[in-house]
Amino acid sequence: MIEYKKILLATDGSENNQSAVYHCIALAKAVGAEVTVVSVVELTGLVPAPIITKAGIEKASMEAEKLATDITNNTVEKCKNAGVKANSMILLGVPATEIINASKDYDLIVMGTLGRTGFNHLILGSVAERVIKFSSCPVLIVRSNNE
């Protein structure tokens, strides 16, 4: 029997991701797993090219890290309110890469997806798709209720 003791919940705090949060909490509670809520701060693209300065990059980075901290803290609080042991982790880098690198320490990854298909999917790629392909553990993808 497969046991899920440590679940990595990847979230960007978006409304589309809330279904994944609630599914993760329900699953963790049912199996007695601990949840690590992770948000990845992607530093590329934070500052528009015409105004790139060291100060601008530092300010954008600090704001992005604060937002990620707020997102993870809020989600950890939801877990704890449901009786699920949880902690948070902020990573810096490319979201798919960072989640894949972290996957070696977990039994399961839970994450949401926007469910892009067709032309948009080909242009934008998909963090969820890359995580599914390359993670070290199983991945549970939860579609948004908004789709």
pLDDT digits 0-9 by tens, 123-143: 434 888 899 999 999 999 998
Percent of the chain with pLDDT over 70: 79
Looking at residue 56, its pLDDT comes to 65
Max avg pLDDT among 43-52, 78-87, 106-115? 78-87
Q: Which amino acid is at 57?
A: I
Kindly give the pairing relationship between strand 108-113 and strand 139-143.
parallel
Within 13 Å and on the Cβ side, how many CA atoms surround 30?
Answer: 8
Q: pLDDT class for 122, splitting at 50, 70, 90?
A: very low
Burial class (CB in 10 A: 0-12, 13-18, 19+), 142: buried
Per-residue pLDDT for 118 more than 60?
no
pLDDT of residue 116: 47
Report the side by side order of strands in the sheet with 86-92: 86-92, 34-41, 6-10, 108-113, 139-143
Tell me the pTM: 0.85
pLDDT at 114 over 70: no
Task: List, for residues 4-60, the tens digit of each pLDDT value.
Answer: 999 999 998 888 889 999 999 999 999 999 999 999 998 665 545 555 666 766 777
Q: If you average pLDDT over residues 79-100, what whole number do you get?
A: 96
* 109 strand-pairing partners: 8, 139
Q: Does domain 18-143 have CATH number 3.40.50.620?
A: yes
Domain ranges, ordered by start, for the chain: 18-143
